[in-house]
């Protein structure tokens, strides 16, 4: 397993005077799904924005395949796909056009694009909607468009922010099955979620973020040891750890 | 805790702060200049139009119809918000000062609007009805009084729950307005007008005012009226600038799809792709482009003066180019665009590409117009002017806009 994404002592946020993240360090390797968990406002989205290169670190660095975003802008983004929490669609483009545009932006050739796109449409049961505009989509369908666009480009790292919200059970299953398959093929996946039962089942490691700091990280076993809660599940550890902090 | 009256002025100020921002944007876009241009040419052709208008033209009937409608339309603007259905309804009995302020405000605004129309029609009035300015002013004042009566009655009639009955009330007002406005424009004697005013006052107190004693204010209807007013404003503002509150309707415009063929499947064309869809389908880029082009064509056909026509061609090309320039910000709020592995340079090139393509199309349209209405030489000049404007815009202005600050 090689290191794909490394975050070293990252401190960051919108304002230098009020950093949201404090000295955050973790990594995502190939063949690995890492769960980023934390309460609302813990700093998950800010962490993700730093990884995407949408925000600049105050100190510390984020490296993807050894390069920071500043060192190799286009190459950095070429290797990364993002599934946002709120689907970001172009209201004036059809589903098919979303896929086509994504393929163009990431430099796919036309043949590969059509082959992959058709497979994805079938898997996510969206074949009938290729000519639809986003205004006719439900929340779940919008989320599926984002997921399909991400899977289309087959990068080495996937960053998914609450990817299950609004998806129907079959959609969730397709998504998770794909994730497992991609992991086997050597991709790294960073997934932020509140659905801990699913995270526990699918993630290899966890990063528990609280008030901008990492409380715990490692496998479930590591977490149990660090929290001194043998055999506890992720839910219990999570509640306990964030509660403890309230008393401080 | 603030009083109802303070609440009203705060809302009025809030609205006008918002509106002023948009009005400034409208002022800055080239449209104000177009209106000025229209005014200059319009006042010249107005005189000719009046001479051409046959003697038999029923001016009194025309004025009656226009002002009958202007008097009946428009309701008291209350600045009521959705949340008031919950928070203000318990205080309905104490809201009279709020609604009174709303009535006064609406009276002022509505008077301004119809006075504007009256001013526009003033030459027709002097030419066909009566040449006296003081008479026009008295009619204007009397109409303003009639407007107040309509607004006050209209406010009471909104209390009527049933939609059908509510419309019947409006219809009755339309009839009353018809009679009154006709009396004014057919220059009935003073005593008749005073009599009418008396009847109207009695009717208001005897009937409309009584409605307020038995019927409650229909808040949902007030919210609906308010929303419509704001939307109308947004829609007007939206034809000059981008209004985020206006959920922009996407139009497919399938017949324009051939334009998309200019975009091929390759990485350098990502922004070509984005801009083409934005231009054709979203907001009203295409709408503005088409309107400006048609308006330009209209001016080309009417303005006989050579240099005046060339000036108009240049101006319309420039205004259109300025509208196309705003495409730059269309995807500013979509984070996905930022994530694509693309250089900023490619966005500029794509924008420039579309600017020049659309410029070429406009050049052909203006050129053809010049050929049809004038001659070959004029077509060459039109093509030259439009090309010059777009090359300037594409290579100098747009480059400046894209240069990082």
Per the CB < 8 Å rule, is B248 touching A91?
A: yes
What pLDDT, on a 0 to 100 scale, did the predictor assign at position A247? 47
- Both B297 and B339 in one domain: the answer is yes
Query: Residue A44: phi, psi to the nearest 5?
Result: -65, -50
Facing B341 at nearest CB: one of A78, A88, A110:
A78
pLDDT at B332: 83
Helices B376-392/B344-373 angle, 10° precision? 160
In Å, how far are A239, B147, B347, B355 from B325, measured between CA atoms?
A: 53, 43, 12, 8
Counting one residue from chain A and one from chain B, the pairs whose CB atoms sit within 8 A come to: 67
Same domain, B288 and B389: yes
- Same domain? B176 vs B204: yes
Contact of A202 with chain B, judged by CB distance below 8 Å, is answered with no
Q: Phi first, then psi: what are they for A64, rounded to 5°?
A: -115, 120
Q: What is the pLDDT of residues B292-318, one digit of tens each?
A: 899 899 889 888 888 889 999 999 999
**Residue B279 sits in the same domain as residue B386:** yes
Contact of B270 with chain A, judged by CB distance below 8 Å, is answered with yes
Question: A89 lies in which domain range?
Answer: 3-247
pLDDT higher at A201 or B35: A201
Q: Are residues B283 and B153 in the same domain?
A: no
CB–CB contact A91 B335 (8 Å)? no
State how far Cα B281 lies from the chain centre.
21
Report the C-alpha gap between B328 and B401 in whole angstroms: 9
Task: Give A66 to chain B, closest Cα distance, Å.
Answer: 17
Question: What are the structure tokens assigned to A65, written together?
Answer: 């395949």
The 3-state DSSP class for residue A4 equals: strand
pLDDT (tens digit, 9 = 90+) per residue, A7-58?
A: 999 999 888 888 999 999 999 999 999 999 988 888 999 999 999 988 889 9
Distance in Å, alpha carbon of B341 to nearest chain A alpha carbon: 4
pLDDT for B290 equals: 92
Query: What is the reported pLDDT for A1?
Result: 65
Same domain, residue pair B216 and B181: yes
| B221 and B258 fall within a common domain | no
A236: pLDDT strictly greater than 80: yes
Instruction: Give the model's pLDDT for residue B305.
Output: 85
Q: Which residues of B touch A107 (CB under 8 A)?
A: 267, 341
Considering the domain architecture, whether residues B321 and B199 belong to the same structural domain is answered as: no
Lookup: tokens for A239: 């509640």
B269 contacts chain A (CB < 8 A): yes
**Structural domain total, chain B:** 2
Looking up residue A19, the CATH number of its domain turns out to be: 3.40.50.300
Please tell me if residue B342 touches chain A, with a CB cutoff of 8 Å: yes
Whole-complex ipTM: 0.86
Structural domain boundaries enclosing B21? 4-238
A80-83 β-sheet, strand order: A80-83, A157-161, A188-192, A32-37, A205-210, A213-218
What is the per-residue pLDDT for A246? 52
Instruction: Provide the token pair at B39.
Output: 């005014």
Is B260 inside a domain boundary? yes
Top-confidence residue, B54 or A145: A145
Nearest to A90 by CA among B240, B239, B281: B281
Q: Which of B207, B238, B269 is the last residue of a domain?
A: B238
Same domain, yes or no: B229 and B285? no
Q: How far is A49 from chain B (nearest CA, A)?
A: 10
The count of structural domains within chain A is 1
Interface touch A88/B335, C-beta < 8 Å: yes
Cα of A178 to nearest chain B Cα, Å: 22
Report the alpha-carbon distance of residue B45 to residue B116 in Å, rounded.
Answer: 19
Spans of chain B below 70 pLDDT: 1, 30, 239, 242, 246-249, 283, 405
DSSP letter string, B281-341: HSTTHHHHHHHHHHHHHHHHHH--SHHHHHHHHHHHHHHHHHHHHGGGGTTTT-HHHHHSS
Residue of chain A whose Cα is closest to the Cα of B265? A104
CB proximity B54 to A under 8 Å: no
Residue of A nearest to B266 (CA): A104
Please give the Cα distance from B120 to B240 (Å, whole number).
23
Task: Verify whether the Cβ–Cβ distance A80 to B339 is below 8 Å.
Answer: yes
Residues B226, B138 share a domain:
yes
CB contacts under 8 A, B 307-336 vs A, are: 331, 334-336
A101: closest CA of chain B, how far (Å): 6
Closest CA to B382 of B397, B405, B399, B365: B365
Mean pLDDT score of chain A = 91
pLDDT the model gives residue B1: 65
B59 and B125 both lie in a single domain: yes
Q: What is the pLDDT of residue B285?
A: 86
């Amino acid at each position: 397993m090689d290191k794909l994404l490394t975050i070293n002592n990252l401190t960051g946020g919108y304002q230098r005077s009020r950093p949201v993240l404090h000295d955050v360090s973790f990594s995502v390797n190939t063949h690995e799904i890492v769960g980023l968990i934390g309460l609302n406002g813990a700093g998950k989205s800010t962490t993700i924005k730093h990884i995407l290169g949408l925000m600049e670190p105050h100190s510390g660095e984020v490296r993807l395949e050894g390069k920071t975003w500043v060192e190799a802008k286009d190459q950095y983004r070429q290797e990364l796909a993002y599934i946002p929490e709120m689907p970001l669609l172009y209201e004036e483009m059809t589903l098919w056009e979303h896929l086509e545009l994504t393929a163009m932006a990431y430099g796919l050739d036309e043949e590969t694009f059509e082959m992959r796109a058709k497979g994805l449409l079938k898997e996510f049961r969206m074949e009938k909607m290729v000519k639809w505009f986003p205004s006719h989509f439900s929340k779940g369908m919008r989320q599926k468009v984002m997921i399909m666009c991400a899977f289309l480009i087959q990068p080495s790292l996937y960053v998914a922010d609450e990817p299950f919200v609004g998806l129907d059970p079959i959609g969730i299953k397709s998504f998770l099955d794909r994730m497992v398959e991609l992991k086997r093929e050597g991709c790294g996946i960073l997934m932020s979620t509140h659905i801990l039962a699913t995270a526990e089942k699918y993630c290899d490691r966890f990063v528990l973020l609280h008030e901008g700091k990492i409380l715990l990280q490692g496998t479930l076993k590591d977490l149990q040891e660090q929290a001194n809660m043998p055999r506890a599940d992720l839910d219990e550890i999570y509640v306990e750890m964030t509660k403890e902090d309230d008393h401080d | 805790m603030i009083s109802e009256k303070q609440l009203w002025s705060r809302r009025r100020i809030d609205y006008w702060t918002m509106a002023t921002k948009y009005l400034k944007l409208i002022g800055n876009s080239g449209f104000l200049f177009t209106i000025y241009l229209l005014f200059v040419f319009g006042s010249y052709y107005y005189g000719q139009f009046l001479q051409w208008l046959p003697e038999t033209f029923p001016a009194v009937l025309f004025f009656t119809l226009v002002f009958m409608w202007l008097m009946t339309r428009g309701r008291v603007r209350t600045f009521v918000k959705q949340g008031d259905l919950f928070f203000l309804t318990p205080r309905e009995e104490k809201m009279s000062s709020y609604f009174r302020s709303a009535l006064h405000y609406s009276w002022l605004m509505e008077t301004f609007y119809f006075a504007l129309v009256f001013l526009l029609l003033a030459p027709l009035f002097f030419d066909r009805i009566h040449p006296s300015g003081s008479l026009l002013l008295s009619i204007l004042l009397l109409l303003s009084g009639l407007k107040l009566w309509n607004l006050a009655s209209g406010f009471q009639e909104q209390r009527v729950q049933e939609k059908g009955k509510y419309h019947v009330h409006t219809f009755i007002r339309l009839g009353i307005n018809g009679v009154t406005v006709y009396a004014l424009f057919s220059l009935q004697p003073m005593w008749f007008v005073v009599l009418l005013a008396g009847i109207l006052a009695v009717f208001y107190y005897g009937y409309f005012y009584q409605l307020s004693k038995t019927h409650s204010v229909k808040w949902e209807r007030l919210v609906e009226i308010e929303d419509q007013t704001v939307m109308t404003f947004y829609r007007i503002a939206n034809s000059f600038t981008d209004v985020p509150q206006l959920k922009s309707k996407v139009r497919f415009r399938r017949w324009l799809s051939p334009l998309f063929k200019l975009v091929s499947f390759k990485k350098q064309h990502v922004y070509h792709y984005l801009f083409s869809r934005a231009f054709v389908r979203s907001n009203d880029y295409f709408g503005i482009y088409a309107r400006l082009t048609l308006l330009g064509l209209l001016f080309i056909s009417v303005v006989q003066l050579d240099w005046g026509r060339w000036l108009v061609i240049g101006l319309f090309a420039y205004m259109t180019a300025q509208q196309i320039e705003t495409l730059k910000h269309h995807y500013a709020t979509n984070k996905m665009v930022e994530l694509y592995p693309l250089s900023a340079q490619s966005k500029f090139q794509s924008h420039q590409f579309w600017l020049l393509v659309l410029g070429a199309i406009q050049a052909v349209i203006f050129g053809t117009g010049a050929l049809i209405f004038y001659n070959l030489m004029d077509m060459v000049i039109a093509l030259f002017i439009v090309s010059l404007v777009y090359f300037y815009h594409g290579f100098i202005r747009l480059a400046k806009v894209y240069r990082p600050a």
